[in-house]
Structure 1
Amino acid sequence: MAVPRMLWGKYFQYERDGEAVLLDPVALDSVFIDSGEVHDLAGVPPTTTHEALAGLGFTPGGPEADRREALHDRLRLLGLDRTPRRISGLRVVLTDRCNMACTYCFVDTNSGKPDLTKEELSDGLEFLFEQNAGHEEVSIQWFGGEPTIRFDLMRYGDQLADDLSDRYDVGRVRRTVVTNGARLTGEALDHFVAYEYGVGISIDGPPGINSAHRLLLGGQPADDRIRRNVARFIEADGLHVGCNLTPTAANIGRLADTVRWIIDDLGLKFIYVNTPIPTAGRWQVNGADLARELYEARQAAFTRGGMLFSVLDRAFQALDTRRPMLFDHMQGDRTLNAALLPGNRVSLCDINFTEPSFLHTLDELRVDPGLLTGVAKKVAPMPECGNCPALAICGGPSRNEQALIGGSTPDPEMCAFYTSTVEIAVWDNTGVQ
């Protein structure tokens, strides 16, 4: 990816084969200019192109404001707030026991720690529904370890959620489970169908790729078993089944082929690609390469009638709506997904179960809802963020990423990823799926 040049100290100018796109990194306005207009723009103003751009709001005049402050002003103007309103969803961590030993898992599995108890599950669900009394929806995601190991708790929790939904006048309970797909009983499958589950199956690719980082505890691959269970999920009526794909050293360079295999061979049409998490204090992948690969994988999914979602779509959505897409710790309605953990604890970050600043008891959250600000993102924490074309799409590392990298300085590969996604989006700009 070429580094864009600045126009008038205000706009990023991306050039390719004599043509260009101008991007306002705060307002997220963009405009395409052809080769003749690029040449005209280099002339002494006012040229025809200068006048045409001025008509679209691209002008050289006005004070050169600090872009970070300008972004904060725009967030206030749009009524966008980084503070969560309430917890509307729980990722319920039933157990850390797992039948697999994936090398990159962000959860410390099979540690011998106690599972969630029925009493803890009851208290957590009661909290969730009381916080959302009279609202349209709550979400419950069963998680582990491998959550199906404690299917008894899932069944108990779903029955309780129905009772709580009636008691607190909640319109709908959205249920999902994240599973490795290596174990599935007929009883569990019938239950998932009855409750119209969304099922996310973690698969990294064909057996040669999947077995690089995902093996059973005994060291053998589970791919044949997973494939059979995927077929059972797909054949069941009423389920929404998709794939959770994690970029790893085994599939980077082959993501598009991996997506084709998931759609053509497994029959899964919905693919969600996880964002790299700097669990070792830094990103483990090349950011620019990952952005390009996600774009290629996205196109591969489209051509096969599938849908692929990743952080790349954040750039498409931002440019399509002209609204910053910064607050990845919140849902679109400014509510929060948190993690319910064994030991009567809640993590405000549903993918970080150990950071002390995220951990609270249910009673603490009831007494002081202001604690939710503990996960709120500090937008553009460094002066250098103001010189980034991804300012209104990335906005700097999240609180979780800051905790993992030990500071507010973004990982260079994270920066490369977001700046590359912006360049891809301004040239393609096909909008969202």
Structure 2
Amino acid sequence: MASSQLLWGKYRQFDRDGEAVLLDPVLLESVYLDRGEVTDLSAVPPTATHTALAELGFVSDGPRTDGRTALRHRLARLGLDATPSRISGLRIVLTDKCNMACDYCFVKTNTGKADMTEEEVAVGLAYLFETNAGHEQVSIQWFGGEPTMRFDLMQYGDELADRLAAQHGVKSIRRTVVTNGARHTDAMVKHFARYHYGVGVSIDGPPAVNSANRLLLGGQPADDRIRRNVRRLLETEGVHVGCNLTPTSANIGRLADTVRWIIDELGLKFIYANTPIPTGGRWRVSGAALAKELYEARMVALGRGAMMFSVLDRAFQALDRRRPMLFDHMQSDQTLNAALLPGDRLSLCDINFDEPAFLHTIDELKAKPELLRGIAKTIAPIPACGTCPALAICGGPSRNEQLLIGGSEPDPEMCAFYQSTVEIALWDNTGMQ
């Protein structure tokens, strides 16, 4: 990794082997400096390098506005708000029943709680389509537990969604399912094809790695079964299948090899790496090491004609577009994916089903749309954020992370992760996927 320093109280300078990259952490402008320019920059100004940088907007004089204040002003000018405009997608949690017992799952499974009912599915979908009347697209993701345990509700919901889309003038529906891949039937595969599903199969690596954390309820591995079902999905026209990869104690340290196996042995060309959440109030991994591993895995995927996405891509997207990427709870159009839960509940956070601050009934959200502000992120909550190179890419913990951590102070490993992703993206030349 390169070393970094604050230049003129405004810019972050990353030095590596005599070369450097300058970054404006508010405007997200960057410039490369060769060895001669780095030497020239350290000389008494004005030099040719100082003059060239000034022409690009990197100036040594002028007001030194606090970075946090400058970022908030820029967000206002861009019209970017931390409050979602509406809910455009639902993660529909059909059941907490599951045929597997994954020891890191953020969902409490097999608790005996009641499944969702057809009426609850209908009410939730009606709200989704009414809220998005006349818009281009809504998204529906079936979730659990293992959502295929209630395949009947998936069938019911998909048929109803088509009727609601026609009724409310919604042009398209993006359908996905997150599944462990261990119990797919012919009827399920045909259904996925009919509705052009994106099927995300949760796999953490080769059998020895996957079964370290992911076993059937009886304690047996399910790898052979999962592999057969992945093959069936890949052979079915109209189904888009990918891998949901969770960094675990079993695969951290060899994520690149894990991704190579997923591509070469399973044939999956789309991989999404989940981001660690601060379980127990803190991050459980080294942020800097994870950023480096995700980058190495990304390069493996690119070299094999595949795509791998993770939070690392947030830095690439921000630097490519020169646009802040702060609101991890929102889609690019400032809409929200929420979680529809059994018992007439809706969580504004699609990965936190228990926090009272996120939970509302649909009637409450209809009556008070301003309740969406409950998921809004507090931007750069502490003074140290003002000089952080990841200011406009991280911006501090999300509302969910703040609640899990128990305050606004970011976890040090989260800070290390985002700072490292910025540095990686600045020196990388592959661009966006």
State the TM bucket, normalised to the shorter chain.
over 0.9
Q: Is the 8 A contact 1:85 1:335 kept in 2?
A: yes
Residue aligned with 1:110, SS: coil
Residue 3 of structure 1: how far off its partner (Å): 4.5
Q: Report the AA paired with residue 376 of structure 2.
A: A
TM-score (norm 1): 0.99
Secondary structure of 2:265's counterpart equals: helix
Deviation at 1:167, TM superposition (A): 0.9
Q: 1: distance between equivalents of 2:293 and 2:203?
A: 17
Q: Which runs of 4+ in 1 moved over 3 A?
A: none
By how many angstroms is 1:369 displaced? 0.4
TM-score scaled by structure 2? 0.99
Contact 2:99-2:217 within 8 A present in 1 as well = yes
Cα separation, 2, equivalents of 1:430 and 1:206 = 28
Post-superposition offset of 1:2 = 4.6
Q: Does 1:303 align with 2:289?
A: no
Residues 200, 244 of structure 1: 8 Å contact kept: yes
What SS class does the counterpart of residue 200 from structure 1 fall into?
Answer: strand
Partner of 2:224: 224
* 1:320 and 1:429 in contact (8 A); partners too: no
**Residue 345 of structure 1: aligned partner:** 345
Q: Taking every aligned residue pair, what percent have the same amino acid on both sides? A: 73
| Aligned position for 1:234 | 234
Structure 1 position 80, deviation (Å): 1.1
Q: Determine the structure 1 residue equivalent to 2:150.
A: 150
User: 2:139 & 2:50 partners in 1: Cα distance?
Assistant: 51
Per the alignment, in what secondary structure is the counterpart of residue 103 of structure 2?
A: coil
DSSP-derived class of the 1:134 partner:
coil
Q: Measure, in 2, the Cα distance between the counterparts of 1:112 and 1:354.
A: 16
CA distance in 2, matches of 1:3, 1:121: 53
Per the alignment, residue 356 of structure 1 pairs with 356
Deviation, 1:279, is 2.1
Question: Do the aligned residues in 2 keep the contact of 1:316 with 1:429 (CA within 8 Å)?
Answer: no
Distance in structure 2 (CA, Å) of the matches to 1:423 and 1:429? 12
SS of the counterpart of 1:51?
A: helix
**Deviation per CA, 1:292-342, whole angstroms, max 9, x where unpaired?**
000000000011110000111100111111101000100001110000000
In the other structure, the counterpart of 1:7 is: 7
Q: Match for residue 378 of structure 1?
A: 378
Aligned residue in 2 for 1:161: 161
The reply to whether residue 333 of structure 1 matches residue 342 of structure 2 is no
Structure 1: gaps of 5 or more residues: none
Is 1:282 the equivalent of 2:292? Answer: no
What displacement does 1:430 show? 2.8
Equivalent position of 1:389 in the other structure:
389
Aligned to 1:254: 254
- Deviation for aligned residue 1:49: 0.7
Contact 2:25 2:389 in 1 (8 A): yes
Amino acid in structure 2 at the alignment position of 1:256 = A
Which amino acid counterpart does residue 264 of structure 1 have in structure 2? D
Query: Hey, what's the Cα distance between the residues in 2 that align with 1:142 and 1:79?
Result: 32
Which residue of structure 1 aligns with residue 312 of structure 2? 312
Are positions 1:186 and 2:186 aligned together? yes
Shift in Å at residue 79 of structure 1? 1.4
In structure 1, the partner of 2:170 is 170
1:66 aligns with 2:63: no
Displacement of 1:163:
0.8
1:128, distance to aligned residue in structure 2 (A)? 0.6
CA distance in 2 between counterparts of 1:165 and 1:319 reads 36
- Asked if 2 retains the 8 angstrom alpha-carbon contact of 1:202 and 1:243, the reply is yes
Q: Matched residues in 2 for 1:222 and 1:403: separation?
A: 35
Alpha carbons 2:139, 2:175 under 8 Å: kept? yes
C-alpha deviations, 1:240-294, integer Å up to 9, x for none? Answer: 1100000011100110000000000000000000111112211111100000000
**Change over 3 Å in CA distance of 1:390–1:429 after alignment to 2:** farther
- SS at 2:61's partner residue? coil
In structure 2, list runs of 5 or more residues that go unmatched.
none
Distance 1:283 1:50 in 2: 41
Match of 1:79 in 2: 79
**Structure 2: distance between partners of 1:9 and 1:386:** 10
Q: When the two structures are aligned, how many residues end up with a matched partner? A: 433
For residue 387 of structure 1, report the CA deviation from its aligned partner.
1.6
Counterparts of 2:49 and 2:139, CA distance in 1: 51
Whole-Å separation in 1 of the counterparts to 2:15 and 2:125:
53
Residue 429 (structure 1) shift: 4.3
Secondary structure of the residue aligned to 1:337 is strand
Look up the match of 1:126.
Answer: 126
- CA-atom RMSD, angstroms? 0.7
Letter in 2 for 1:177: V
Q: Answer yes or no: is 1:139 the counterpart of 2:139.
A: yes
- CA distance in structure 2 between the aligned counterparts of 1:396 and 1:267, rounded to whole angstroms: 37
Say if 1:330 and 1:336, in contact at 8 Å, map to a contact too.
yes
- Residue in structure 2 matched with residue 245 of structure 1 by the alignment: 245
Shift of 1:83: 1.1
Instruction: Note if contact 1:319-1:429 (Cα within 8 Å) is conserved in structure 2.
Output: no
Deviations 1:337-357 (A, max 9, x none): 000000000000000000000
TM-superposition CA deviations, 1:127-170 (whole Å, max 9, x none): 11110111111110000000000000000000110111111111
CA distance in structure 1 between the partners assigned to 2:405 and 2:306 by the alignment: 35
Asked if the contact 1:325/1:394 (under 8 Å) is kept, the reply is yes
Matching residue's letter, 2:112: G
Which residue type is aligned with residue 203 of structure 1? Answer: I
State the secondary structure of the residue aligned to 1:204.
coil
2:105 is aligned to 105
Distance 2:134 2:52 in 1: 51
Counterpart residue type for residue 423 of structure 1: E
Which secondary structure state, in structure 1, belongs to the residue aligned with residue 275 of structure 2? Answer: coil
